[in-house]
A = this chain, B = another copy of it.
Amino acid sequence: MRALRVDGLTELPAPAGDGEALVRVVLSGICTTDLELAKGYLGFRGTLGHEFVGVVEEGDLAGTRVVGEINAGCGSCGRCAAGDSRHCATRTVLGIVDRDGAHADYLRLPACNLIPVPATVSDVAAVFVEPLAAALAVLERCPIAPGQRVCVIGDGKLGLLIAMVLRDHAPVLVGKHPHKLALAGVESTLLDDAVTLGRVFDVVIEASGSATGFELALALLVPQGRLVLKSTFHGTTPIDAARIVVEEVTVIGSRCGRFAPALALLETGGIAIGPLVSETLSLGDGERAMQLAAEPGMLKVLLAR
């Protein structure tokens, strides 16, 4: 089968058994994390991709269209026993940690990670379950009370999804690209003007993945405000730690979300996924797709089979 790995597109045997479900991938999405992994983030060397929809090839779920939770836990530690493998210490993560990913013709995941996709959710929407779950995870880690003022920094795919998910909190979205900012359906401000918004936000969500975004977030927060960090990126960020102390800011790291609420939200049609897709290429054009995905102004690039 074809597989888009950290070092390029290659031919590989389909992944071997060992009791996990075999999934034929129908569509997968390139995430900024894939681009970071290709640059050396986490030292991952395998097949990229963790956003997908596919069809189960064998076993109880054979023929079912599914998405899959990307963290595969050991199943026996305290975290796994509590039903949350996202922080199992020995977990593998699809296309990120010790497990080949979704930019291939086939992948394997434990059957318990798979979730059937309702017929009313399109393939394109289903690929967004993973990033949408990550957007919803903001509220899991940082509940927002009515009346609290919210700012989202970053008009990339994740920033847009977060702004959409938080629409009821009337967030201000900050980014560099007017055409992207317009997609979220919320108030927006260009990055260069953002500091003039003032120190008025109770919650700022940093989804730009840049040190500048972190600094801006600190400049927009009220004292004792909360800064949610969403982006994973390679290397260290210079941070004014004294500012965190003096203003008594709380910085909250947030990563993966749960799939079921994200699927439920897509079923309602409340999130307009279509405009978030910039390009769809075939898996055979995977290397070019990665280059496209890295271009400024680009949103989601999908890989069809």
Contact residues of A with B, CB < 8 Å?
41, 79, 87, 89, 141, 199, 214, 223-224, 229-234, 236-255
Q: Are A224 and B87 in contact (CB under 8 A)?
A: yes
A242–B234 CA distance with the chains assembled, in angstroms:
7
A211 and chain B: residue at smallest CB distance? B241
Q: Identify A245's interface contact among B231, B241, B242, CB under 8 A.
A: B231
Looking at the assembled complex, report how far the CB atom of A173 sits from the nearest CB atom of chain B, in whole angstroms: 20
Partner of A253, one of B214, B231, B249: B249
Instruction: State the CA gap A98–B87 with chains docked (Å).
Output: 46
A251→B240 contact, CB < 8 A: no
The answer to whether B253 touches A247, judged by C-beta atoms less than 8 angstroms apart, is: yes
Minimal Cβ-Cβ distance residue in B for A248: B253
* Contact A141 B238, beta carbon cutoff 8 Å: no
Contact of A239 among B79, B230, B239 (CB under 8 A): B239
A147 to chain B, nearest CB (A): 13
Asked if A242 and B246 make an inter-chain contact with CB atoms under 8 angstroms apart, the answer reads: no
Return chain B residues, CB-CB under 8 Å to A89: 199, 223
Closest CB of chain B to A137's CB: distance in Å? 9
